[in-house]
Structure 1
Amino acid sequence: MGRLNFLSVLCCLCLNLCVVAVDTIRSSQSIKDKDNDYIISNGGVFKMGFFSPVNSTNRYLGIWYNNISAFTVVWVAKRQKPLKDSSGVLTTSEDGNLVVLNGQKEILWSSNVNNSVANSSAQLLDSGNLVLKENTIGTILWESFKIPSHTSLPEMEISTNERTGEKVQLTSWKSPSDPSIGSFTAGIYRQSLTQSFIWKDGRPYFRSGPWNGQMFIGIPVYPVFHDRFGLVDNQDGTSYLTASTVKDSLSHYVLTTQGNTEARYWDSVKEDWEVVWKAMVSVCDVYGTCGAFGSCNSMSSLICSCLEGFEPNNTEEWNRQNWTSGCVRRTPLQCGRVNTSGEAGKMDGFLKLKMMKVPDFVEWSAAQEDDCRQQCLQNCSCIAYAFDSGTGCMTWTRTLIDTQKFSNGRGVDLYIRVAHSELDTNGDVRKIVTITVIIGTIFISIFTYLLWRWIAKHKARRKKEKEMLMFNREAHKKFPSEDMLGDNLNPGKVQELPLFDFVKLASATNNFHESNKLGQGGFGPVYRGKLSDVQEIAIKRLSKTSGQGLEEFMNEVVVISKLQHRNLVRLLGCCVEREERMLIYEYMPNKSLDAFLFDSRKEILLDWRKRFNIIEGIGRGLLYLHRDSRLRIIHRDLKTSNILLDKDLNPKISDFGMARIFRSNEDQANTNRVVGTYGYMSPEYAMEGRFSEKSDVFSFGVLLLEIVSGRKNSSFYHDEESMSLLGHLSTFKKSIFHQPHLKISFGIEKIFASSPAQAKAKGSLTLGLHCCKSRM
């Protein structure tokens, strides 16, 4: 058993040694179709062997990509005479040529090297080139790159020799399943300047325009995966074109069966060939679409038009969009014409056409740009000229054909020779018409814009007036008597508040997106928004399912619109469109007091100084509501969540939906509808419905205890064994009010003793403490 294993390993080693040159066929070797033989280039890029095209049983010798999933043939030998079975053999003949034999040993294809040598070998390179070389000194006798099929690989040279007539061109397949020679060929043609062509049955089908040293100026877009193109014109009459690709990119050009040249690269993600460029993208790219002296523009509804100074040769055919007859000159040129009238004729001139693909049959000269025009003007045979910095001076003396208008900034300026009368007509008249059209368009546009603005403003004004009228009617249904809110339901006074458009507010909040939501209250959600002038706002939107409604909305509009104080949140306006009811406030970046006070991470930011400033600010706001404003306002819902903080942590009282206005002769009032938040309500208000300034003072006292202690009063209500802050205050009231040496009392006294200017707020603080004390 051990001997068998040893013999197996030895045989494998021998086989590996025998097939070291897997990319080479030597004189003693061959590739047999029936044995499924093949050779692979040294880097594993290409493979050569026998294959059958899609939907075909014919066998061909070819080269294809080895390391990709898509079977892609790049070269085929003897395309016109395929094998009908798998009897084909590729080998080297006695004279050193590569030959393909059939089952009867007949030569179906040969490299056909006249000066071949017996000692030769064929090697497949990683460039895709199959080379036959002499083994002694390595001279290349023949290569597949000199007789390509339909594919141009990056290191291949497409060439022509105008002296010998030798050409290296691509030839299309007849169909995807038939590699035999099709109708199209592609290559370069050198006359005065070198151009690339696609021919169909020997006639021009596509033309690239002249080479300017970097590109063909008649191709508007180039493949993105190429580093550069190169065109070399040798003194021996040979011109060849090369294209180097970006490093490590797998790419090639292919001449399709439909006659288009495509640039493809391998997309390893999609595992397929990606077409990144085509030579022909519109009907204007077809050679001579618009006939002689015609110009093609793919962006126009009628793609063909005559060049300046020319008219259709056959108007009826032209109107039927049959442009093959082309155009003829409208007015004869002065140059070379015999003047029999005795009058001196005016000299011809040139009309400028921008961004053009220059016509075929170009003639080149070394003249500079200024001399190029004069040179053409002095030659009566010259009918057009153009100048390109890379190409030089180009002139035309024959029919102007295959001219195209570009729209992407490529192309060159083409100057067409016309009679002087054509210059007058196409110059002055065109200027007059152009100026008239431009001025008329401007006036019409301005008038239309102003009319549209006036109509839009008029409609918006009428719409707002209608909505406000409906709003006021609805409000008076809710408030039939002005006594309920004093004299503040006057519609005229309500309309003094700025009105915001719903569309504008929706745009400011990204259509009330959840990410802009600041919170949710009994009134409805509150959103953060930013107006076009970068002003940040807070929008309170009345929810249709809210327990609060028009009464609270109107109450807040009426109350807060008349109040202005540094410690009251400022109402910027409201929105009353359709069923929408929204209030727009100044934005408070630090949100509400409870977000700081009851958050273990943020409460450390509230030192005694900041807490005192907050207490003082709330006290100032209450003093303004109760005494200093032109209206006596009872807030009725004073709590930490209704105290907003600006960027400097200054407090501002908000949410006046529950507020009531007292007349000057009123001290207290009764209500059957108790509103507010339990824990902050005074007992007489919660139980009997009686409220006055003392109701707010009681709430302020609870608020003060929460600020000093950092504890929430309502957090104790569901714990039977625990007391609320008020309960604790009742237990320690003797200590607080009669033992000033205690820490808490000392802390409060210290706060108020810190600055004489702060003594005003002490009265509010003491009042709040005594108000709480009186209920214990």
Structure 2
Amino acid sequence: MWSACYAANRDTLKPGDTLNSSDTLVSAMGSFTLSFTALDQNKPNYSYLVLEGTESVGYSFLVWIANGNTPIMYPTGALTLDRNGTLKITQKGRDPIELFSAPRTTTINSTTSVVVATLLDTGNFILQELSSVDGSTKQVLWQSFDYLASIFLPGMKLGVNYRNDHTWLLTSGAFTFEWDPKGHQFQIKQRGVLYWSSGAFRDGTFEFLSPYYGPKNESVCNFSIVSNENENYFTYNTTVNYSNLWMLDSKGYLRQTLSDSAAESVQSKPTGGCDGNNTDGGCQKMPQPTCRHLGDRFEKKVGFFSPVIESSEPTIDSNTSLGISDCQAACWENCDCLGFYFNFDNETGCRFWTGKSEFNEDTTGNTTTNYFVLTKSSREKETPKSSRRNAHKWIWIGTAIAAALLVMVLCISCYLLRRKLFSEETNPMIENELLEWMESDRSTGDVKGLQNDRKMGNNLTVFRYASVVAATTNFSEENKLGQGGFGPVYK
């Protein structure tokens, strides 16, 4: 007979079992645990149901939080699987938080099957229907792998489930790590705006993600892409015997962590250098304020800000949902901002210093506070005299180029105008002089356009071209007398 209160160091909850605040579920090989814990040291009475990797896989890490947006008072929380197949977190004096409740149309048959919740060694916490005859799995009703945090483990999915419009993605602070079903590539977004992309998946890898190798230079990942009418997602499995996971941190870095009993390595992916101006390694260029230039960047510096004007104070944003990336983005957009620091000890909220203050670097060791100080690029540090000299140089160059272009345009215009006038006036002039000559006693040598220098009598008749066309019936074959060395002869 199953007990109503579940003991520690077991991996399964059966109908009627409860995991209270002092208990822990542990996967069969001890790789993962599920328990209530406080995540904020400043709020020890607020607890969360947390699934974590243990030291047995090389290090501890947080995989999943059941009630991330709804902390409960410690130690009143408990995880319960009731006899109707409902998995829920209960708390004293408040409504329960349902993780899964079987619908009325479910195919669960209480006479031939039983519903249990099990923590697997893959890091997946599942609610499944088992056969009461042989204990085989009939169906998985719910799983924590569908609700990702900031860790991507082998067997997890990134993508879209078209059957229920559910999206699998990682979230860390202001950043999300997503799968693009159309482009078959990874994307990192900052507050919903595209920040970085991996490039399309080709030949077993991505353009802006380096190959994955372990400490012994062996390949550690097999990638898979599934695309059909029901879902489109990316997943991977590991080819090594030690831990292999990806992690999205709150600064927008994507990291791969490998660990075994002998070695541990961390590979930083190229997303970390994206600053809005940089487009290297998959970074996306973002609209920038006119006061920021390529090479401007934030640096961690030890020291303190002091007011230039006695009454000046830092600007404070106490929103606890703001992380380092939000503070950096806000300072970057404000042309008066010189630097920032967190407003709270848990690295949330923002404290900004403007042009009314100046930063004093401390190399004496009297302070350990790291401020994020905006440093200017070298071109912004030019002396005013040098800047003016460069400006004058470019003004003279621009003036010379403009003058040369103007002279060129005038010459071309004069040539075209002269050519046009000549073509319009010369031919009528020649024709009129020929007609005049026909009615006079001048020789052909006096007529412009005729190449004949012999002095002859005026016994030559001049005809208009239209008259010649009419007389020869448009130079027809019937009026052709023959062919000579200078062309055809017509009657």
Structure 1 or 2: larger strand share? 2
Structure 1 or 2: larger helix share? 1
TM score, norm. by length of structure 1? 0.32
Which protein is bigger by CA-based radius of gyration?
A: 1
